């Protein structure tokens, strides 16, 4: 029963989803191995946002989700915003 629930929730695809999402958030692969306490405030905020997105909830209620994400360089996370709020084409 637990295995079928885990599979239904997308657990088997988790590893395949982490890398692309992490890149969309502008976080380098070496940061995946670091403890959250070693990340900058913006990196930790982006990692937390990534954890929320990986959970695949049906709905998100986010208050200023891009606040304090350290987006001072080209906008990593632009794909994330389309994941959070997709625009119909």
pLDDT tens digits, 41-81: 888 888 888 888 888 777 877 777 666 665 555 454 555 55
Rounded to two decimals, the pTM is 0.66
- Name the residue ranges covered by the structural domains of the chain: 18-84
Q: Burial of 49 by CB count in 10 Å (0-12 exposed, 13-18 middle, 19+ buried)?
A: buried
Which tokens sit at 52?
């929320």
Asked if residue 69 lies in contact with residue 52, where contact means CB atoms within 8 angstroms, the answer is no
pLDDT tens digits, 32-48: 889 999 998 888 888 88
Asked if residue 80 lies in contact with residue 45, where contact means CB atoms within 8 angstroms, the answer is no
């Amino acid at each position: 029963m637990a295995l079928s629930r885990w599979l239904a929730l997308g657990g088997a695809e988790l590893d395949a989803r982490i890398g692309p999402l992490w890149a969309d958030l502008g976080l380098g692969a070496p940061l995946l191995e670091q403890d959250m306490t070693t990340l900058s405030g913006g990196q930790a905020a982006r990692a937390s946002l990534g954890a929320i997105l990986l959970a695949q909830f049906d709905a998100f209620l986010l208050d200023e989700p891009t606040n304090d994400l350290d987006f001072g360089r080209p906008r990593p996370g632009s794909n994330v915003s389309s994941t959070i709020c997709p625009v119909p084409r």
